[in-house]
A and B are shown apart, each in its own frame.
Chain A
Amino acid sequence: MTPLSELFEKTRAENRAALIGYLPAGFPSQQECIDAISAMVEGGVDAIEIGFPYSDPVMDGPIIQAAADLSLSQGTGAKEVFSTLKAVASTGTPAVVMTYWNPIERYGVENFARDIAGSGGSGVITPDLTIEEAARWRDSVKKENINSIFVVAPSTKDDRLAKVTEQCSGFIYAASLMGVTGTRTSVSSSARDLVTRVRKVSDTPVAVGLGVSTRDQAHEVAQYADGVIVGSAFIRLLQESQSMGEGLIRVRELAQSLAEGVRR
């Protein structure tokens, strides 16, 4: 069992949702990313998604695109992603990598899974890998005993939902709406419908992402989901802050506030 799966057992026992925070590796810089993740964890984030910055992020809105561009311009690659993963996982916080498919394929599918496991990572979220193209990946994650997390969307039909969720372990990433990442003023009602449909076909924990940025939104999602994923809201605070010191304080505060939200 991975640290991520243990976390969901714990949060289910505590009758609350897990709070999952996202940050791209190397943003704002290699060390500052690790510092910001520490601030998130100190504030109450339960698990971390480390983004592999990618040149063509079609699932991401402007906030994450800008963060990824900055990180890439500083030369972030697989080496930096794995060292960030190692740094986070070594503190005992469950950590996964979220990456578009091409960096995995370029690194070598088997090697990528091996190095996730070797760095103490719990698994990988693959937002643009369809189950039809995932045969090699399935074998690799199985061999390394890590979690394979696919994304499902409000448009995913029930029969397909069963097939995709069957491939998921750790948790199922439910996209709250039809769209890209970013902060939004309200969480789409389609999120609750989607989670309800997932529950009918799978016992795997379900975490909701896309558009969650406030305590109230986290609280709302925590009523029906096992996990709440927040990314762009943290990144935006770091982008807006005058100094890294200020950014870390604000990140910690947001994490605290969201952590209250996920406790029903």
Chain B
Amino acid sequence: MTVNPSLDQSEILGHFGPYGGRFVPEALIEALDSLTAAYEAARIDPTFIAELDHLHKTYTGRPSIITEVPRFAEHAGGARIILKREDLNHTGSHKINNVLGQALLVKRMGKKRIIAETGAGQHGVASATAAALMGLECVVYMGEEDTKRQSLNVARMKLLGAEVVPVTQGSKTLKDAINEAMRDWVTNVDTTHYLLGTVAGPHPFPTMVRDFHRIIGVEARAQVLELTGKLPDAVLACVGGGSNAIGIFHPFIDDLSVRLIGLEAGGSGVASGKHAATITGGTPGVLHGTRSYVLQDENGQTVESHSISAGLDYPGVGPEHAYLSDIGRAEYQAITDAEAMEAFSLLSKTEGIIPAIETAHALAGAMKLGRELGPTATLLINLSGRGDKDVDTAARYFGIPL
């Protein structure tokens, strides 16, 4: 099984309680309607499901394994800690799950060009990879600031044949890359699919992208049950837009004994104002086509986010997370840059796994929770990406000469 077998009525209309929906120029409605229809058809089409399954097995390397990390767990109150290894996927993160699903849809819709936004570069690399695999033209919008922070991923995208457009407007980060991708899409919507990389944006993206990532949680739930004989006490994941988190959370939503914990980027601390913890420190609003929590000022202007992690440096968050937070089914906490980097270093040195800095936020959350719950607890963490792309940033942070 690769996609979500059932949707409830409100999700068909793209709403999660008061969140979600569509706030976009009218010019995009036709494309969003066509995309929704194509996805609704593909979701239950055995041919589509088989094609995607085949790619998962033969291209991505699914199912991804789980790894228990006892030496790391010694620093987390001795809790039992299990990692879902999305870092071992082809291209190095969970992003490939969504990208392959959408790229297959693009082929079905007969479009030849995809555009994508990227922050850390992981979604850009995954999009460029899928474009190369399926013979599509690919343009990736990336904030100029991020092209500097993540120059290695810029080179990777170019090697894969994609065009990378540095975005010089606004804060020159992910949010501005999304603005520019939306402008491209409005202009070229006949020929172009916007391969949005997270569970935000207008309907159907939040549900569709979630469904393509549900495989993470579906696999992990079965793997943890097989290993431990019971469900974990908590599932933890980092949250920027929230795609890896919703992917692992969603199959556990009905398991009410399992705490779902999203770790947001606390930057220099939420109180400092320099952070990207949208649910923890934001307010309900509309950004990039969806209603959710937003970092905004009293006039509704988006406030710039701050994080050491380019992939979490986003002032919005997926609408389903906003809803899960409001109804109390999931908890969201902020992890500072310093806490994340400590966890980054610790996992590297105790387990020989260098995580992405994004993912390190989830690890830091697990260290806190493990200390709180003690050795009887079992924690499942989505290890959403590997840290190769972050070697530069980490070396500078820890003062390692390059």
Contact = CB atoms under 8 A, between A and B. Distances in A.
Interface string A153-194: 111110010001000000000010011100000000000000
Contact of B189 (A77, A127, A129, A155): A155
Most buried by A among B24, B288, B291, B299: B299
A105 B186 contact: no
Contacts of B312: none
Interface stretch (A10-18, A52-60, A200-208, A247-255): A52-60
A156 B299 contact: no
Interface string B157-185: 00000000000011000010001001100
14 contacts: A55-B170, A56-B170, A56-B288, A61-B183, A106-B298, A128-B289, A129-B23, A130-B29, A132-B13, A156-B30, A160-B29, A175-B27, A178-B27, A180-B186
B22 interface: yes
Interface of A: 54-59, 61-62, 65, 69, 72, 77-78, 101-107, 127-130, 132-133, 150-157, 160, 164, 175, 178-180
A102 B186 contact: no
B336 interface: no
A79 B23 CA distance: 24
B379 to A, nearest CB: 37
Contact of A153 (B23, B26, B294, B299): B26
B30 A54 contact: no
B186 A77 contact: no
A78 B297 CA distance: 12
B187 interface: yes
Nearest to B189: A178
A43 B14 CA distance: 47
* 7 nearest A-B pairs in the assembled complex, by CB-CB distance: A106-B300, A153-B27, A77-B299, A103-B300, A58-B182, A179-B187, A102-B300
A46 to B, nearest CB: 24
Nearest to B24: A128
B285 interface: yes
Contacts of B296: 102, 106
B317 to A, nearest CB: 15
Nearest to B302: A55
Contacts of B229: none
B2 to A, nearest CB: 29
B285 A102 contact: yes
Interface string B273-299: 000000000000111110100101011
Most buried by A among B24, B25, B182: B25
Given A58-B182, A178-B186, A180-B183, A127 B22 contact: no
B286 A101 contact: yes
Most buried by A among B30, B31, B288, B301: B301
B250 to A, nearest CB: 25
Contact of B301 (A62, A72, A157, A175): A72
Given A77-B299, A155-B189, A132 B21 contact: yes
Nearest to B304: A55
B299 A155 contact: no
B255 interface: no
Contacts of A153: 25-27, 29
B40 interface: no
